[in-house]
Structure 1
Amino acid sequence: MNYLLHILVMLEIYILLALSANQNVGLSGLLSLAQAVFYGIGAYAAAITITKFEGSYWFALQVAMLACIIGALLFSYIAGKVRDLYFSLATLSLQIIFFSVAYNWIPITNGVYGISGISNPEFFAMKINSPGRFALFGGAWVLLVILFYIWFLKTPISRLIQATRDDQIAVLSLGKNPNYYKRISIILSAVTAGIAGTLYATYTTYIDPTSFTLDESILILSIVLIGGAGGIIGPITGAFIYILLPEMLKFLQMPDSIAANMRMILFGLLLILIVRFKPKGIFGKYLIQ
């Protein structure tokens, strides 16, 4: 039972990550290769606040969100004016810089050894220290974020973000600044990823740089590509496929050592098939370019 609850918690974390990536790639058309950066910023900010300053989860969450907002603002001012391949290259540079800092800034991040002893969250004096409680806690976060994005998609700001994605000149002709709306999108994406990072850090109680690599950023992007970008259902579907695929392999009675590798092989094959036969993804509204 605990194993199934663990799978559920990881599914919730990846749903948040997929929704965060969808905000960039699906709504604003910004192909980011650095989604794991803000995931990592949220995780490290929470871990450092809890372990070094003995802060509560809720205080650590605020610190993590603030760190993600500041990081996203700085990055968007530097790279927000470029598009397409150049933006992707800028995010790739950000990913490399973040991993290098996390790996080498030993006094703060503890380098390759990571940060351990991260305490679990508390909710009204109740310690969320079991898989069942954490599954409910993570589920509440997922529900809140989904409801937020359902509301946000209907707002004028969201429509202008999507208009910026489709035709920046048309947005300029309306007297609007496309870079401003890109900046909003990057910040929203970063904060959502940061929330996922705080959940991951306080659930596993240990983090290290290997959880926030370029591979992780590409994986998150692939989840959105498979499920489909531009809506809510697509990213959630992609997260379900990625997390539940290894469980399906168990019916084939493969050894664990083989099944772990087969998951990525099958996920890669599925990605190729999606790109070839359904470029917008399973439930996609926007073609990632």
Structure 2
Amino acid sequence: MGISYLIHLGVIISIFVILGVSLNMALGYTGLLNLGHIAFYGIGAYTSAILTTHYGYSYLVALLSAAILAGCAGLFLTLITGRLKGDYFALGTLGFSFVVYAIFLNWTELTGGSLGISGIPKPNIFGIEISSNFSYLIFTLIITTLICWFLYKLAHSRYGKLLEAIRDDEVGLQSLGKNTSKMKYQIMALSAALAGIAGSLYAHYITFIDPSTFYLNSIIIIVTIVIVGGLASIKGSIAAAIIILLLPELLRFLNLPSDVVGPGRQIIYSIVLLLILLYRPRGLFGKVDI
């Protein structure tokens, strides 16, 4: 395992940290089991890729557009599923992810269909091209750190306490005159926008995307990160992302055939998730039981 591969892992882990902490704001702090988070990740990736490859926009414009469009999608999803509670909300958001996946797969003129979009350019910011993997790692770490810092401050603010109150007793909070629906719209839009940023970072790092990247296997990883790290814990999601993405790399040292490594990763995720649910229901640093 060379230094170049470790740098690659660092970039991927940073992206999944963003996905984990952003989902935790909706799930851990607000109690919204959003299984459509992967759709926002995909919307961000495709928005950024299409704007830069098809229309020649700069990376900063594409990144901002990815966040805005994903955030609007999150707001739209909450508007149509806002009356649903618990498992019904989860199923509604999961259905949304299938719809978005179908759009990626079938709108071939825009998304390339199953062939995806290739030749996505590396970011160029104010004339500085982030072309090497090491420079991309630094760039990604800066964005990830800023996002984690912002969410940590938000979670420990008065607004963050109101989000936790929605999770614990929404009816009680409403009786105090608080508009819980408005706060849920806001946090879902924010969570989705951050997932869109993660999607943009991924697209311009790999320089190729296709619909398979944004299917169910990825949402399983993201939810596992949140559960293992603990609900309502930013540092837990950071630690869990590192653990969850590094553990399967141990399979590389066993010299297993490639057709075994893929299923092996899913088995590892399942075992870790099962052990956490059985022996540490609050996760590594969680504040509430799963």
Q: Place the TM-score, normalised by the shorter chain, in its bin.
A: over 0.9
Find out whether 1:106 has 2:108 as its counterpart.
yes
| Matching residue within 208, 211, 215 for 1:209 | 211
* 1:19–1:192 Cα contact (<8 Å) kept: no
Query: How far 1:23 sits from its partner (Å)?
Result: 1.0
Separation in structure 1 between the aligned mates of residue 114 and residue 266 of structure 2, nearest angstrom: 25
Query: How far 1:151 sits from its partner (Å)?
Result: 1.0
For residues 75-224 of structure 1, what are the structure 2 equivalents within 5 Å? 75-224=77-226
Query: TM-score by structure 1 length?
Result: 0.96
For residues 224-235 of structure 1, what are the structure 2 equivalents within 5 Å? 224-235=226-237
Separation in structure 1 between the aligned mates of residue 129 and residue 250 of structure 2, nearest angstrom: 33
Query: How far 1:251 sits from its partner (Å)?
Result: 4.2
Per the alignment, in what secondary structure is the counterpart of residue 178 of structure 2?
A: coil
For residues 48-59 of structure 1, what are the structure 2 equivalents within 5 Å? 48-59=50-61
Aligned to 2:68: 66
Aligned to 2:13: 11
Query: How far 1:259 sits from its partner (Å)?
Result: 3.6
Aligned to 2:250: 248
Find out whether 1:34 has 2:36 as its counterpart.
yes
Separation in structure 2 between the aligned mates of residue 117 and residue 258 of structure 1, nearest angstrom: 30
Query: How far 1:154 sits from its partner (Å)?
Result: 2.1
Separation in structure 1 between the aligned mates of residue 112 and residue 96 of structure 2, nearest angstrom: 20
1:161-195 superposed Cα distances (whole Å, 9 cap, x missing partner): 11111101111111111111111110111011011
AA partner of residue 159 (structure 1): K
Query: How far 1:252 sits from its partner (Å)?
Result: 4.2
Separation in structure 1 between the aligned mates of residue 255 and residue 53 of structure 2, nearest angstrom: 41
AA partner of residue 91 (structure 2): L
Query: TM-score by structure 2 length?
Result: 0.95
Q: Which runs of 5+ in 1 are unaligned?
A: none
Aligned to 1:278: 280
1:28-48 superposed Cα distances (whole Å, 9 cap, x missing partner): 111111110000010011011
Q: Which runs of 5+ in 2 are unaligned?
A: none
AA partner of residue 274 (structure 1): I
Instruction: Count residues with an aligned counterpart.
Output: 288
Aligned to 1:264: 266
Query: How far 1:78 sits from its partner (Å)?
Result: 0.9
